[in-house]
Structure 1
Amino acid sequence: MAAAAATNIQTVRNIGVIAHIDAGKTTTTERMLYYSGYTKHIGNVDEGDTVMDYLPAERNRGITITSAAITFDWNNHRVNLIDTPGHADFTFEVIRAIRVLDGAVTVLDGVEGVEAQTETVWRQAAEMGIPRIVFVNKMDREGAGFGRAVREIVGKLQARACIINMPLYKTKIVDGMTTAVFCGIIDVIGMKSIEWIPGTDGREFVVLELEGENLDEARKARVALVETLAEIDDTMVEKFLELDDDHLAITPADINGALRRCTLRNQIVPVLCGASFRNIGVQPLLDAIVNYLPSPADRPQAMLQPLAAENKKALLARNTKCGCALAFKVIHDNRTGKILVFVRVYAGVLTTFAKLWNNSNKTEERALKLSRMYADESVDIEEIPEGHIGVISGTKEVRTGDTLLFATGTTSLAAARAPLAGMQLLPIAVPQPVFFASIEPKTVSDARPLEQGLETLLREDPSLHVTIDKETGQTQLSGMGELHLEIASDRLVNDLKVNAYVGAIQIAYKESLEARYDGIATPVTKVYSKATMAKSSPVTATVTLAVRAVTKDALAELEAETAAAADAVASTSSKGSKSNTRTPAIEIPPPPPILDLGESNTLVFPDGFTMPYTTYPHIQPQELLSALISGATAGLFRGTRYGLQIHALQLVLSSFALDPPDAPSASVLAPALRFAVADAFAQVPQQAKVLMEPIMQVTITVAEEDIGGVMSDLSSARAGRVYALEDEAAATTTSGNDGVGLDANAIYTPPDATAHLGKHNVRHARSKRLIKAMVPLREMVGYLKHLRSITQGRGTFTMSFERYERVSRERAEEIWSSL
């Protein structure tokens, strides 16, 4: 191991491999491990002997379920790699991995090109501003098209693609017919061909001079590459002019330098190709990772923000007295029974036995043991330097997304963390679950192990949710999809050894009001009395509240109004308020006109409403707001018709009061508001209360001849609404990374030697189409099996949660009777 790779932050690469399912992420990663010398044999997904897919469920199913981290060295660089899942059900694994990465490798299937989940993970990486390179895999397969894939990168992913290498083909005579066989790559920068020796493990290859058609295409690609870089990089422009506009005279070093600068600025995306399963093209990909993707020092400094919802943010300066790390993944080690916390260190050096302050839940712990993970194996280390990813063992309360602070040097932890009190690193967004299944212990004695097992699952995967039905006492586990819940249940029963019954997968319906019910209901006044102390007189809270429906068209307006209201409050608060203050030193913010309660529910203060801060001098203003929010949120938990969580409801608070005015606490407001919400919703006529169901955005990839059957099935049998029918390979004009319009048809792409060859070498156009539709989630349960049956196994689909919609009365009765 080179010393530079272990100590110099400039030689560290924190990268992830992201892609659609079955694009070849794990296969590519296994080759990286082999060529770097980490493994002695090449693992294959089909044989179930991969390093990265180590869970039994992963090896049995042949898919990646959980993101796995591993560290290896390449060309004196330390590479911390995370292999992520490609299935849409495990999108949270991708989200939390991307959160701590500095760069990403996007793997494309050379035959399928840019697929639906590819667009999803690409967008997630773009939101975090992560530089990416693209590896077009499976170029040895019949129907693979590198040029077509490059055009889709431009057209679908809105990226300025720069071709670094291209496929190299040899012609062979098979059964009397000429066939193009993928055997290597054409190095556009070095103007050489690299040919791998067939039948070897990929370590043996030859570098040859280009000639004939390959030389002509390489020159075209080199000219296009230099011109693209010259458009956006000043240094390349200067070099280009110095050499009298000679594209081929630009040195490889100058091109690599420009590629790195532009990639780090997210202005371009280097594109490479290969066939990982055939051991072709992986070494140039490793070179591209260290040459073009950023080190931690190349990325912007970490951003700290207040735990409270404010707009203030601050940069986390490097080499401060206080170290900082983000816990991005927590797992339970079945062999040792210990909790392992994966962290990315953003500042300082975390050492063994260091004291940790969890700024998210205000607890202090100690890093009893530090490790570097190699998939499911670990190696003990003494420290985790800044910019590195490692694992902490021995913590008790750390959860995904927590910000951990530690002292550096001789400074005490209390003194070091003081300036960062109430601050956190950018949190990890958790998507909303839409499926749920009931879980019950088999015996009374299994209740406690079930509770502990569910706690372990939730700590490992925050995209899982556990709720208790208050009427039935039934425990319900919610997740992102059928497979997600199936894997979670399997882990609970088989890995955590919990004796439990797992019910059938169900859908998370909600309850609301008819869209036309937009008139304000009769206000309800609720009086609640509570004694604050054993011998004291009771404190009485009076709340006047009305409810009204939030129509679908109004949801977007509400979001805009909420954001505008927050900005207005922040602006007013920053200026200060001279009125309604108890002492001149305290600034009291005005009441926000709209409060977001989640689930598209809002608490609204009507025009003319004044928050009675001065009426209650012994209560902090934030206490009043917190009591109102907590009470309203609790009151929306269960409706009065279907007993489901209420969605898309607007609560209009006319007034509230405490008696006596010098009440020592606002806590009695919460139950009063909770009862008021329930009473107001109960007064709404039953026929105005409706069921709401989750609607999914579905993208189905089918052959041309299957379009009619699939669309008919969606519209007639599944209550779906088809809104787009697209040619999967269509190139479009879009806006690129730097905002410049890009025409996918105008860029250089090499000819595709095998893109249109069928089983008998008969040329035909690829005729895959994309059907995009909005479909109720209920109709998508078990859809994959049905889709395969009506498309002879050729159809695939992805789906993501879009929104909740009101259900017609007839459909509601059908749904409710089946639950």
Structure 2
Amino acid sequence: MHTLNLGILAHVDAGKTSLTERLLHAADVIDEIGSVDDGSTQTDSLALERQRGITIKSAVASFAVGDTTVNLIDTPGHPDFIAEVERVLSVLDGAVLVVSAVEGVQAQTRVLMRALRRLRIPTLVFVNKIDRPGAGYARVLRGITEKLAPSGIALTAAGRLGTPAAHARPYGPDAPAFAAELAALLADHDDALLAAYVDGGAPLPYTRLRAELAAQTRRSLVHPVFFGSAITGAGVEALMAGITELLPTAGGDSGGPVSGSVFKIDRGPAGEKIAYVRMFSGTVRVRDRLPLHPVPRGAAERTGKVTAIGVFERGPAVPGDALTAGRIGTLAGLTDIRIGDTIGTPRPGPASAHHFAPPTLETVVTPVRAADRGALHLALARLAEQDPLIGLRRDDVRQETSVSLYGEVQKEVIQATLADDFGIGVTFRETTTLHIERPAGTGAAAEILDKDANPFLATVGLRVEPAPVGSGVEFRLGVELGSMPYAFIKAVRETVTETLGQGLYGWRVTDCLVTLTRSGYAPRQSHSHAVFDKSMSSTAGDFRHLTPLVLMDALKRAGTRVYEPVHRFRLDIPADLFGAVLPVLARLRAVPRTSAPRGASYLVEGDIPAASVHGLELQLPSLTSGEGVLEYFFDHYRQVPGAPPARPRTDHDPLHRTEYLLRVQRRVGVRRDDS
């Protein structure tokens, strides 16, 4: 029996969850197809999901097609919940991207396809809703090849579109025009096929074309397109056949070292953690004790003992004795487990790859009852372990907790979850935009052991300089690796990354290179009776306390510029309202790049600050009598004009030396140039 771990992805309302229901029904897993509108679907289990008719958290269901077990992961389509999709991408063997036959390619569709292509995840495209009025074939297919996948090719024909009788029929060897188009497409990626195609002799055997189609799809070179309807079932049989024929099954050695990735965490009836794991290698059994990675700074090895295993088989997870390589299952008993963790041996590559833009909004969560302040932070921390969307920022000085957001819908979800699961009522402050800082130039600073009122037993010199946009933070050694113990170098590197979370204006500093230019330490010393004397010997704590002072001094010398997130927008409005919309865009600091008539409407594309998007969404219905359609997605950061906005700091504030030293509870040294 083979296993295929399949993700279903789409722009919101494209019919992704309805397709999941249809696939489960076609595979005889469920007797009756649930309805998103009625809240009766298998994979939308949260009360809020059923109320709103949208997917908020990813869900797994399983079905069998022939000798293949398909673990299907239904992911959120709303852009506010993109972090749920983020985790799922790392565990997929293949994907089905759902596109509406009515709306065509939408903003979120493009964001998802870019990530799928970048990660080279084999992907099929399913054009849903061919039975809906306004459904298109050539128009939608053209949009797919122009905006999503230049190597897309339709494997099904569709007829009677826009009616309940709409149908889809797969092309076969009896369709010479299709075979010729397929041969031309495949020849672009295969020299032998190209030679045979150019030779101009007898048509290539259809069996060879199908075999090459499967091979190129599995290499993410070609993206087959299927048309159909999840509601009526039209075209779903052809899609199921395509899933097993064209997508690769899971690999992995069940006898190898244990290695798995945690992409979701739920809580059981008694509040225990339930970890959803994709196994890449090895076998996990009940009562196994597993190492967990990564290990936090300064912490002992993390381990957990498996007390129960769930294996997905024809629907939900069922109890099992073992979870083997290639499969997805649930593990209970790992009390310290977190989303994104690796169980067993870490896989090669970056520990956490980000495929989508980070959240660009932030808000302060305030309890309705002041007595709930402590409970609120604990509840948010518990939510954050299950939901990577919730990035917490605790301000101990003001006794406030902030959460990062992708959009306003998340507020409702967080508010409802806190009320229903924890009994805590909350309100939110006005949403603010998350900016970033980048170095404006190069700056260097150093603190020398026993000199310049340095109160720590450490020497640290750092140079900060700009790095290419999108490169993040890079730490380099400008000293010999053996110049001091590795634990001290590690302490400097980790503290640099942590300190750059708040720059000169309080925003995260990125796209910079930090080089350790000087180092020094006091060797381990003991009294005559061989007792270690901390006051005479350097510790990692000395470097962790000194590094923020040196780094922020260097950053002040370099200077930073503040940048705001900018979205690319696409606005479809009635043609006669084009003149009225332009002043509104100008007031919102939106910059139209292109505008063109399209029938009775006008299509405007351009850039808009993330801070202005919500305002445009609020004004658009009244401005266009409900006929305007807005799409947007994060595109880049641009420098903020005028005075840079600042955000209050939540750390010990190494920008102010005296206060910083008092807060870290060390003796205060006052430098002559201290201001």
TM range (shorter): 0.7 to 0.9
> What amino acid is the match of 1:390?
G
Give the counterpart of 1:777 among 610, 614, 628. Answer: 610
Structure 1: distance between partners of 2:639 and 2:187: 54
Aligned runs of 1:650-799 on 2, under 5 Å? 655=518, 657-658=520-521, 663-678=537-552, 692-703=562-573, 705=575, 708-709=578-579, 712-713=582-583, 715-725=585-595, 769=603, 771-773=605-607, 775-799=608-632
Counterparts in 2 of 1:380 and 1:88: CA distance versus 1, 3 Å: same
Q: What is the CA distance between 1:49 and its match in structure 2?
A: 1.7
Pair 1:628 & 2:496 matched: no
- Aligned with 1:491: secondary structure? helix
Given that 2:149 and 2:223 are in contact with CA atoms closer than 8 Å, whether structure 1 keeps it comes out as: no
Structure 2: distance between partners of 1:710 and 1:401: 47
Counterparts in 2 of 1:102 and 1:519: CA distance versus 1, 3 Å: closer
Structure 2: distance between partners of 1:376 and 1:810: 56
Pair 1:265 & 2:225 matched: no
Structure 1: distance between partners of 2:282 and 2:480: 47
Q: What is the CA distance between 1:780 and its match in structure 2?
A: 1.8
Pair 1:186 & 2:169 matched: yes
Given that 1:30 and 1:43 are in contact with CA atoms closer than 8 Å, whether structure 2 keeps it comes out as: yes
Pair 1:372 & 2:311 matched: yes
Q: Tell me the alpha carbon deviations over residues 512-566 of structure 1, each in whole angstroms, 9 at most, x when there is no partner.
A: 78x5xx4759x675778999xxxxxx8644556677xx7xxx652794xxxxxxx
Structure 2: distance between partners of 1:794 and 1:36: 40
- Aligned with 2:258: secondary structure? strand
Counterparts in 2 of 1:643 and 1:139: CA distance versus 1, 3 Å: closer
Q: What is the CA distance between 1:67 and its match in structure 2?
A: 1.4
Residue in structure 2 matched with residue 331 of structure 1 by the alignment = 266
Q: What is the CA distance between 1:352 and its match in structure 2?
A: 2.6
Pair 1:403 & 2:277 matched: no
Give the counterpart of 2:354 among 402, 407, 429. Answer: 429
Structure 2: distance between partners of 1:295 and 1:766: 47
Counterparts in 2 of 1:332 and 1:706: CA distance versus 1, 3 Å: farther
Q: What is the CA distance between 1:679 and its match in structure 2?
A: 5.3
Given that 1:693 and 1:776 are in contact with CA atoms closer than 8 Å, whether structure 2 keeps it comes out as: no
Given that 2:569 and 2:633 are in contact with CA atoms closer than 8 Å, whether structure 1 keeps it comes out as: no
- Aligned with 2:41: secondary structure? coil
Counterparts in 2 of 1:41 and 1:711: CA distance versus 1, 3 Å: same
Structure 2: distance between partners of 1:555 and 1:787: 39
Give the counterpart of 2:479 among 607, 611, 615. Answer: 611
Given that 1:26 and 1:52 are in contact with CA atoms closer than 8 Å, whether structure 2 keeps it comes out as: yes
Give the counterpart of 2:385 among 459, 462, 471. Answer: 459
Q: What is the CA distance between 1:717 and its match in structure 2?
A: 0.9
Given that 1:526 and 1:673 are in contact with CA atoms closer than 8 Å, whether structure 2 keeps it comes out as: no
Q: What is the CA distance between 1:118 and its match in structure 2?
A: 1.0
Q: What is the CA distance between 1:671 and its match in structure 2?
A: 2.0
Structure 2: distance between partners of 1:526 and 1:792: 67
Counterparts in 2 of 1:286 and 1:427: CA distance versus 1, 3 Å: same
Give the counterpart of 1:116 among 107, 116, 131. Answer: 107
Given that 1:697 and 1:800 are in contact with CA atoms closer than 8 Å, whether structure 2 keeps it comes out as: yes
Given that 1:146 and 1:167 are in contact with CA atoms closer than 8 Å, whether structure 2 keeps it comes out as: yes
5+ residue gaps, structure 1, are 1-7, 171-178, 192-217, 302-317, 406-419, 532-537, 560-595, 729-764
Given that 1:134 and 1:272 are in contact with CA atoms closer than 8 Å, whether structure 2 keeps it comes out as: yes
Paired residues in the alignment total 631
Given that 2:368 and 2:425 are in contact with CA atoms closer than 8 Å, whether structure 1 keeps it comes out as: yes
Structure 2: distance between partners of 1:797 and 1:327: 35
Pair 1:393 & 2:257 matched: no
Q: What is the CA distance between 1:343 and its match in structure 2?
A: 0.8
Given that 2:501 and 2:507 are in contact with CA atoms closer than 8 Å, whether structure 1 keeps it comes out as: yes
Q: Which has the higher contact order (CA 8 A, sep 6+)?
A: 1
Residue in structure 1 matched with residue 530 of structure 2 by the alignment = none
Given that 1:694 and 1:802 are in contact with CA atoms closer than 8 Å, whether structure 2 keeps it comes out as: no
Given that 2:262 and 2:341 are in contact with CA atoms closer than 8 Å, whether structure 1 keeps it comes out as: yes
Q: Tell me the alpha carbon deviations over residues 726-762 of structure 1, each in whole angstroms, 9 at most, x when there is no partner.
A: 789xxxxxxxxxxxxxxxxxxxxxxxxxxxxxxxxxx
Pair 1:60 & 2:51 matched: yes
Q: What is the CA distance between 1:678 and its match in structure 2?
A: 4.6
- Aligned with 1:472: secondary structure? coil
Q: What is the CA distance between 1:279 and its match in structure 2?
A: 3.0
> What amino acid is the match of 2:623?
I
Counterparts in 2 of 1:138 and 1:625: CA distance versus 1, 3 Å: same
Pair 1:71 & 2:62 matched: yes
Structure 2: distance between partners of 1:654 and 1:322: 40
- Aligned with 1:481: secondary structure? coil
Structure 2: distance between partners of 1:241 and 1:648: 48
> What amino acid is the match of 2:342?
T
Structure 2: distance between partners of 1:107 and 1:678: 48
Given that 1:355 and 1:365 are in contact with CA atoms closer than 8 Å, whether structure 2 keeps it comes out as: yes
Give the counterpart of 2:281 among 347, 359, 365. Answer: 347
RMSD: 4.0
> What amino acid is the match of 2:64?
D
Given that 2:76 and 2:84 are in contact with CA atoms closer than 8 Å, whether structure 1 keeps it comes out as: yes
Q: What is the CA distance between 1:166 and its match in structure 2?
A: 0.7
- Aligned with 1:668: secondary structure? helix
Counterparts in 2 of 1:520 and 1:466: CA distance versus 1, 3 Å: closer
> What amino acid is the match of 2:628?
G
- Aligned with 2:343: secondary structure? strand
5+ residue gaps, structure 2, are 296-300, 526-536, 649-675
Given that 2:124 and 2:223 are in contact with CA atoms closer than 8 Å, whether structure 1 keeps it comes out as: yes
> What amino acid is the match of 2:549?
F
Structure 1: distance between partners of 2:399 and 2:317: 41
Q: What is the CA distance between 1:71 and its match in structure 2?
A: 0.4
Residue in structure 1 matched with residue 394 of structure 2 by the alignment = 468
Counterparts in 2 of 1:51 and 1:679: CA distance versus 1, 3 Å: same
Residue in structure 1 matched with residue 72 of structure 2 by the alignment = 81
Q: Tell me the alpha carbon deviations over residues 144-169 of structure 1, each in whole angstroms, 9 at most, x when there is no partner.
A: 22112222222222332232111123
Given that 1:367 and 1:394 are in contact with CA atoms closer than 8 Å, whether structure 2 keeps it comes out as: yes
Identity %: 26
> What amino acid is the match of 2:49?
E
Residue in structure 2 matched with residue 593 of structure 1 by the alignment = none
